Structure formats: C-alpha cells, structure tokens
Amino acid sequence: MLQIMMSSVKISCTCTLRYLLLLILINNYAWDTSALSNPEDGVKLHVQDDHVVMDNGLVQVNISNPFGLVTGVQYNGIDNLLEIMNEFNHGGYWDLSWSQRGNKGTFFLMNGTSFKVIVQKETQVEISFSRTWNSSASSSPSHHSDKNNSTDWPPLNFDIRYVMLKGSSGFYTYGIYEHVNGMPDFNLNGTRVAFKLRKDKFRYMAISKTRQRRMPLPEDREPPRGKLLEFKEASLLVDPVEPQLKGQVDDKYMYSLNSEDIKVHGWVSSEASDPLVGFWHITASDEYRGGGPLKQDLTSHVAPTSLSVFLSSHYMGMDKTPRFGNGEPWKKVHGPVFLYLNSAPPGTNESALWDDANEQLQQEAQKWPYNFISSTDYPKSDQRGTVNGRILVRDRFVSKEDIPAVDAYVGLALPGEVGSWQMECKGYQFWTRAGPDGSFTIKNVHSGEYNLYAWVPGFIGDYKYGNLITVKEGDSIELDDDLVYEPPRNGTTLWEIGIPDRTAAEFFVPDVDPKYVNPLYLKQDRFRQYGLWEQYSVLYPSTDLVYTVNSSTYQKDWFYAHVTRKLGKKVYNSTTWQIKFNLDSVDEGTIYKLRVALASTHGAELQIRFNNLGTEIPHFTARGLYKDNAIARHGIHGLYLLFNVDVKSDWLKDGENTIFLSQVRGQGPFNGIMYDYIRLEAPADDERTNAEARLSGDLTQSRTNSF
C-alpha cells in the first residue's frame, strides 16, 4: 500500500489541472468492493488505517484516510463509478487555486491530515478530513521561478465533510474554510469539488432539461485525434473514436451556466446492454457561491468530469476574486452538495434520469437548510431569518404612477457599493425574484449585517437600500415602506438599442462556421458556438458596423460583440461602430444623456465621439474596464457596467448625427465589449426651461445693446 504524502502536491497555474492524484495510484489503492450491506440495516462505517467506507446498502463510498479523497463509489452492481485507470485526474476531490504577494497562482489538492468521526448511528454517518495551517509548513521548489516563493500550503484551515443517510441514494459533501489571526495574506482564486467518472461507461452528459448530448472521449481532444484551437480548452474533433462526432468542437466553457441555474447536472452511463446509471451534482441552494445569481461557472465537461464550483475567476476576472489581509478573520461553509445516483433499465431514454434527478432536486430544496448537518458553522432553519418587502419602479417617462418591479432580482449580500454584489465572494448571498406586485421574500438568511440590492429587468442600473439590514436568529423582518427604485433618467427617450436585461442575447448572433459546429447549439443558445467572434471580420472585412436609428433593427444589424478585426495571422485592429440618428432641432445650451450599459468587457477601452471621429480627445472614455473574458468563454454576459454620458448640445446638430463607438485596443481576438443597452435621452424639462430663459435673456440683452 502506497503511503505517499499528498501534501507535497503543488502545481503552477500555468499547468493543466493535473493534480498529483497519480501519486496515490488509486488503481492500486485498496477499497472495499464487497457486496453492499442490507439497506434495512442503516448506514455502516468501516474505518481502516488507509481508507474508510460509508455504506447504506444502496451506495458504498470509499475515501482515503486521512486525505479525504474519494477513491470509489459502488452502486447498482458497478464496483466503481469513478475513473481509476488514467494517469492523472482520479476519483473525487476538493481543490483550490490561490496566490500570494503577486506570485502566480497555485493549485492545491485539499488533502487532510486528520480524520475524525463526527456522527455514527444507524440513520447517519458524518466524517471529517481536516488540515490546520501552521507557519512552519515545509516548503518545496515551485514550478515557477519566484524569489518570493511562499510555502506550499495556502494559509487556510479547512475541514472537508462527507455525510451519508439511511435510505438515501447518494451522499453529501461540504467544506468549512477558515482564515484566522496569525495567517498571512493570500488571494483565493477559486475552489470546487470535482468527480472524475469512468470514461468507458459515462458518455451522455446533461446539464439542463434542453442541454444534453452524447460527449466525445478525452482522447478525442488530443492530437492526432483532435486539434487545439485558439485556446487550450477548445478542440476540433478531427478523428474521434465515434466518427459521427467528426468536425465538432468541444470546449468545457460551452457548458457553463448562471449560478441561479446550476441546480442539477451530471452524467449517464448509457451503454445499450447495461442498465443506465446516473451520477448527479444537486445544489439545493447557491447561497455559498460567489458573485451572485448571474455569475457563470463550469458544470460538467469531457473527461468525464462533474463539478461543483463555489468560487472562480471565470466570467469575472482574476483581479475580482477575494483577497484576505494578514490575520483577517474569515470563515465560510461551501455546500453541502448532494451527489445523487439513480438508475433505469436498458433502453430507457437517458433524459429520463435527468428528469428523475430534477425531481430529487425539488425534494432537496424543500429540505434546505438541511437539519442533519452537524457543523455549528452551518445554521439550521430556526437559526436563520427572513426578509420581506415590496419593490416598485419610479420612472415618470414610463408611468405616472410607481409600477411593481415584476421579476426583480432582490438579494442580501455583504455591505458594499451599489452593484458590488456581482463581485462579492467572501460572504453568503441570498436572492429571490419579486412577484407580479413587486413583493418578495428572502428566506433562510444567516445572521449578520447586509445591504439589500436589486435590479429590475427592463430598467437600467442597480438599486441599493439605504439602510443596513441586521438579521438575527429566527427574525422575520418586514420592511414597512415600499422600496422605490428610480432608474437613471434625464428626459424622454429619443431612441434606444437593445433590451436592458444585462445580456447581449437579443443582438445579432451570426451562424457558426460549419467547420466549428457544436450541434447542441444550432437551435438554442447560439452564442455558445465556437469562433463567432471571427465572423465579425467576415461580415465587415474592411468597414465597420453602421446602425441607423429607425431603419436598422438590433436583432439583425447590431453584432453581439464589439470585437477586433482580424487582418492576418495574429494581427488584429481596433474597430469603430457608428450610430446614425436624426434630430429635428437641437435644444441649445442643454445637456442630453447617453446611457451605455455594457454586458461584458475584456481588455477593452471604449471611446465615444459625437459627429467628429477626427477629434483627438474623445468626448467620453471608459478605461480600466473588467476582464471577464466572456467572449472567448461563449458567454453572452460577464460583469455589468453602466455609463451615463453628459452630451453637450453643441456636440450635436440639427439633422443627421453620428455617434462613434471605438473599442481602441486591438491586441487579440478577445479584446472587446458586449453591449447590453444604449439609449439617448432628451434634456430634462427643467433644463429646457432654463435654456429657453437663458436664450430669451441673451436676445433681450442683444437687442438693448444694438440701440
């Protein structure tokens, strides 16, 4: 039996996610493959020197001791659902990516050094694998050269738990992370739990009701069977094992979802001669994920891999991930996640197993928060609170009366600036959707202090309630007064492009290049196809997009992403789009408003000019934009931004006007912007009145001086 200290595992961020699970050589690791116990006997726990086994008669889970790595899952006659034959990426494990003092990121396999039984009884077993950080941790050479090389282990205490219940077709896992006084500063760039399933059995993947398909093998992605494309995650299947997949593109980011939609996803073992077996991640709550309900992240992808991602820089940018100061106190529970197993007779449609898992999700959601979790850091239902209220929208150019904020996103997150929730990852977030009358109830809130945030589909900008909300155990807080959101508004709408929904989904998404097709996205979510950014140079080889108000339509004439133009191999140029519109008469001496809402930015700089592209200094510049990389990762949105541009009347003219939108950085194919919504507003009524008064006074003075 190999007893290799997994704590020596350290991998540079520049390497692939090949954690040195091979050191443990799981295929040589002993686990119990004896027959499952009788379900009527309840949950059994078998503890050995190098592994432990949880067994409830339906599922048997084998975990290395004291590392806490899942080395085997036995179910429905299959001795192990997990991959054990690959050199890399075995079994199930927790990991994180971290950095310190400007160093490059490091991936860390979260292997414990201490094993403990928390609960052992007929109805439940809960076990713990923990590690406590200490400053004298040994250091080993880094995979990258850095004179400030830190110790191998992130300054973090962690406790990884596994729970099995009687009669439950699966098991739960959750992790408790803690940073305390005495620990140095560090950045937490990402953390997750991953399961690598057997590639000889699991070929059918389902991440939602409509996003399901048979997947290629991992070797199909590698040369000579596959050809890597613009980035390593995207591969063209040149000679796949299954010929019908030839010519398709595989990229794990094609299977990302918004956090609010990551509820149940996984794989089905679908060989015709065998019973079907499903392996599913079920997430009953997303309270512990960073970035709010619209944050996108990975789900399942080729290997076959199934993930629960709690925090990542994807669709956000590395500079937005949480940073912890020296000695900064922090504690958070990630999960629990339910790993659910189901089965069906041969010949059953694979989607039936997803349907069953989705029904299981509803049951898990009804049980949230779980009453069987033993950690005191995970509050039970009677230790949580509820916040109730009603939110309205006040926009006098839409309605003379306040209108209900139908379907508004309303949530509690750590105190911060307006809209800060979309980059907040240290604390918990609790979100709901408002009803038809604007009423909302935010349930199961941890004790603590929060800001209440909201945004309303159909209206630009973000809302933040003016007072802190303090939630205590058992509270049911009623916000007495209606919350009123007044979206940015200066005057009446002269014209608008798009829909204010924080995505670019309504704009023109081109057809995919036939040599880069993923057939799953021919009729749905077409923006997820590979290489769509290249189609801009095809459609606009020498001149840029021109949009004419009252003639063009944004569904057909506004490209989904303002990207660079490809001039040659690895040569790109910045691009300038035009918006043409007419003004019958400019209100002199006034200020118009241009509202520019962005759904995503990456390595971009937006410059805006009115009627004169040649002016050296733009009328407006937006620098330091986010680097959420949504264009390359097939996302239709990343981080939201809103710019409110004062437009002086002397920048405009009677008749035809042109606004020039220049994305001036052209280093590569992914420098770009996704617009959410653009609107030009007339001057405010009081501003027009003042301008008329000023103009009248000027004329009177002029006449007086002329006599």
Helix (H) or strand (E) holding 554: helix 554-557
Specify the 3-state DSSP secondary structure of 626: coil
**Which two three-digit tokens encode residue 619?**
């009328």
100-148 pLDDT, tens digit per residue, is 877 788 999 999 999 999 999 999 999 999 999 987 753 433 333 333 3
Evaluate if residue 698 carries a pLDDT over 60. Answer: no
Show Cβ contacts of residue 587 under 8 Å, excluding neighbours closer than 6 positions.
649, 682, 683, 687, 688, 691
Spatial distance between the Cα atoms of 588 and 648, rounded to a whole number of angstroms:
9
Helix (H, G, I), strand (E, B) or coil at 361: helix
Sign (positive/negative) of CA torsion 134, 139, 144, 150? positive
Question: What per-residue confidence (pLDDT) applies to 623?
Answer: 87
Of 117, 15, 31, the residue nearest 74 (C-alpha): 31
pTM higher than 0.85 for the full model?
yes
CA-CA distance, 187 to 320, in Å (whole number)?
A: 10
Q: Quote the CA–CA distance of 417 and 553 in Å, as a whole number.
A: 35
Read off the pLDDT of each residue in 596-624 and give the average, rounded to a whole number.
96
Supply the pLDDT for residue 87: 58
Distance CA 124, CA 171 (A): 10
What average pLDDT does the segment 221-250 reach? Answer: 97
CB 473 within 8 A of CB 369: no
Listed in sequence order, the residues at least 6 apart from 617 whose beta carbon sits closer than 8 Å to its beta carbon are none
**Position 565 pLDDT exceeds 50:** yes
Whether 27 shows a pLDDT value over 50: the answer reads no
Q: What span, in angstroms and rounded, lies between the C-alpha atoms of 18 and 107?
A: 9
Average pLDDT over the chain, rounded to an integer: 90
Measured between alpha carbons, how far is 231 from 289 in angstroms, rounded to an integer? 27
Which DSSP state fits 536?
A: H
d(CA 227, CA 221): 7
At which residue do the structure tokens 């009627």 appear? 611
Segment 213-230 shows an average pLDDT of 97
In sequence order, the β-bridge partners of residue 228 are 235
pLDDT at 685 (0 to 100): 83
Cα–Cα distance for residue pair 321/424, rounded to 1 Å: 8
- How deeply is 296 buried, as exposed, middle or buried, from its count of CB atoms within 10 A (0-12, 13-18, 19+)? buried
Express each pLDDT in 616-626 by its tens digit: 999 999 988 99
pLDDT at 704: 28
The answer to whether 403 and 391 have CB atoms below 8 angstroms apart is no
CA distances from 316 to 14, 261, 296, 437, 491 (A): 19, 17, 9, 33, 33
Task: Give the separation between CA 649 and CA 585, rounded to whole angstroms.
Answer: 10
Write phi, then psi, for 243 (nearest 5 degrees).
-55, -30
Which pLDDT score is estimated for 705? 30
pLDDT on residue 34: 62
Q: How far is CA 501 from CA 87, 185, 261, 462, in A?
A: 45, 37, 16, 12
C-alpha angle with apex 425: 456 to 388, nearest 5 degrees?
A: 45
Confidence of residue 480 (pLDDT cuts 50, 70, 90): confident
- Give me the half-sphere count of Cα atoms (radius 13 Å) on the Cβ side of residue 480: 1
Mean pLDDT of 631-642: 98
Q: How far apart are CA 122 and CA 39, in angstroms?
A: 10
Q: What is the predicted pLDDT for the residue at 691?
A: 61
Give yes or no for a contact between 427 and 324, defined as CB atoms under 8 angstroms apart: no
The answer, yes or no, to whether residue 584 has pLDDT greater than 50, is yes
Least confident interval from 83-92, 217-226, 313-322, 550-559:
83-92
User: What type of residue is 31?
Assistant: W
Mean pLDDT of all residues in 666-671: 92
How is residue 305 written in tokens? 């891999």
**Residue found under tokens 């999960």:** 335
- Percent of the chain past pLDDT 90, that is, above it, reads 85
Count CB-CB contacts under 10 A for residue 549: 16
Q: What is the pLDDT of residue 689?
A: 63
| 495-538 residue pLDDT tens | 999 999 999 999 999 999 999 999 999 999 999 999 999 999 99
- Dihedral angle over CA of 441, 444, 447, 450, nearest 10: -40
Task: Please state, in angstroms and rounded to a whole number, the distance separating the CA atoms of residues 700 and 705.
Answer: 9
Dist. CA 535–CA 688, nearest whole Å: 44
Other CB atoms within a 10 A radius of the CB of residue 356 amount to 18
pLDDT of 148 reads 32
Per-residue confidence band for 700, with pLDDT thresholds at 50, 70 and 90: very low
Mean pLDDT across 674-689? 89
- Interval 157-179: pLDDT, tens: 999 999 999 999 999 999 999 99
List, in sequence order, every residue forming a beta bridge with 63; answer none if it has no partner: 52, 70
The tokens 């503890």 sit on which residue? 47
Backbone torsion region of residue 225, taken as left when φ is above 0, otherwise alpha when ψ lies between -120 and 50, otherwise beta: alpha
d(CA 642, CA 488): 10
CA–CA separation, 196 and 264 (whole Å)? 17
Q: Quickly state the pLDDT bin for 149 (edges 50, 70, 90).
A: very low
Residue 438 is predicted with a pLDDT of 98
339-364: pLDDT as tens digits: 999 999 999 999 999 999 999 999 99
Residues 180-211 have pLDDT tens digits of: 999 999 999 999 999 999 999 999 999 999 99
Q: Which residues of 552-568 are buried (b: 16+ CB within 10 A; e: fewer)?
A: bebeeebbbbbbbbbee
For residue 619, the model assigns a pLDDT of 98
Other C-beta atoms lying within 10 Å of the C-beta of residue 164: 25
